[in-house]
Amino acid sequence: MRLGIDIGGTTIKYGIVSNEGKIIESFSFDTKVNDGYLLIVNNIISQVLIIKEKYKIDSIGIGVPGIVDKNGEIVKNCPNLFWKNVTLGKDIEFKTGIKTYVENDANIALLAEHAFGNAKGYSDVIMLTLGTGVGGAAIVDGKLLKGSRGYGTEFGHIYVGENKNRCNCGKYGCLESFVSATGIIRYAQNLYDKNQISTRVKSAKQIFESEDTISKKAIERVGYYLAVGIGNLIQCFNPECVIIGGGLSGAKDKLLNSIERNISSQLGFFNKNDVEIAIAKWGNRAGIIGASILSEYRN
């Protein structure tokens, strides 16, 4: 039995997961960001000690919304939690006596797909998580790609076309500026305003659920730029499978079809059958499930 912990900016979810990826029992509590690192970690430790009474836990895995160094020892930066250079794994291991592994949450989501989801059985997989921002993760030859300092797979910031709206990273033309919820809302709202249609776009979901001309145009644009980005990633990694996760992946076929319509012209020497494009299997549960199997990808 393993313990998977998913630390988010608003909630900390955790669950006991069987070696086959089944969640046996799960819990959650609010992330009181203002409590600071030590109080939050102590809270987690208390929960682990309670669980330890009831279950035999072989290892703990934790996903965090930020950058983790190459060895998983130092959480370098979690902007939403105000954590910088904390030794989360060691701190929990020291008090609980259970081997603890830490990783970035996009990587964790990919592990869940690779071990028990839609990327199962593949050695080379790419993941894009589409939400407020765009995250990325890659498994290369069965192992997580970390990059020299743990900053790899920033797929939201590859160039996919001209865009006057500067990305948060400082660049122009990043994938994120086109296909993040923020980018989609901005684009659609602009079109409504231009056409003097008094619609207030509140979410990307609203666009994907609407059937008007502007929404259709916005969805097609998302498909096109995702295809350019995925095309680039295929050239780089020659993956067997590309997984689309994050909040926007809730649009399922509407999103997938839009990518499919645009991908052919972005493949170069590859062809469509070389790579499968799929929506992530585990939505909300990816964090707990992926974290629980981290130990297997660390050895």
The binding site for a copy of itself (CB under 8 A) comprises 122-124, 138, 140-141, 143, 145-155, 157-162, 167, 169-171, 174, 228, 231-233, 235-240, 265-270, 274
If the CB atoms of residues 171 and 205 are measured against a copy of itself, the closer one turns out to be 171
CB of residue 83 to a copy of itself, shortest distance in Å = 17
Q: SS3 helix, strand, coil % of the chain, rounded to 5?
A: 45, 25, 35
CB of residue 122 to a copy of itself, shortest distance in Å = 7
CB of residue 262 to a copy of itself, shortest distance in Å = 12
CB of residue 207 to a copy of itself, shortest distance in Å = 25
CB of residue 224 to a copy of itself, shortest distance in Å = 11
If the CB atoms of residues 46 and 238 are measured against a copy of itself, the closer one turns out to be 238
C-alpha pair distances (Å), 75 with each of 66, 67, 94, 110 = 7, 6, 16, 19
Count of residues making up the chain: 299
If the CB atoms of residues 15 and 136 are measured against a copy of itself, the closer one turns out to be 136
- Burial (Cβ within 10 Å: 0-12, 13-18, ≥19) of residue 10: exposed
> Going by C-beta distance under 8 Å and a sequence separation of 6 or more, which residues neighbour residue 141?
123, 124
If the CB atoms of residues 92 and 243 are measured against a copy of itself, the closer one turns out to be 243
Return the residue matching tokens 């080379």.
124
> Going by C-beta distance under 8 Å and a sequence separation of 6 or more, which residues neighbour residue 214?
188, 191, 192, 195, 197, 199
CB of residue 86 to a copy of itself, shortest distance in Å = 20
If the CB atoms of residues 231 and 246 are measured against a copy of itself, the closer one turns out to be 231
**In angstroms, rounded to a whole number, what is the distance separating the alpha carbons of residues 22 and 123?**
22
If the CB atoms of residues 32 and 149 are measured against a copy of itself, the closer one turns out to be 149
CB of residue 275 to a copy of itself, shortest distance in Å = 8
CB of 219 closer than 8 Å to CB of 235: no
Q: What angle do CA 70, 95, 66 make, to 5 degrees?
A: 30
If the CB atoms of residues 27 and 270 are measured against a copy of itself, the closer one turns out to be 270
Q: What angle do CA 36, 39, 44 make, to 5 degrees?
A: 120
**In angstroms, rounded to a whole number, what is the distance separating the alpha carbons of residues 150 and 103?**
10
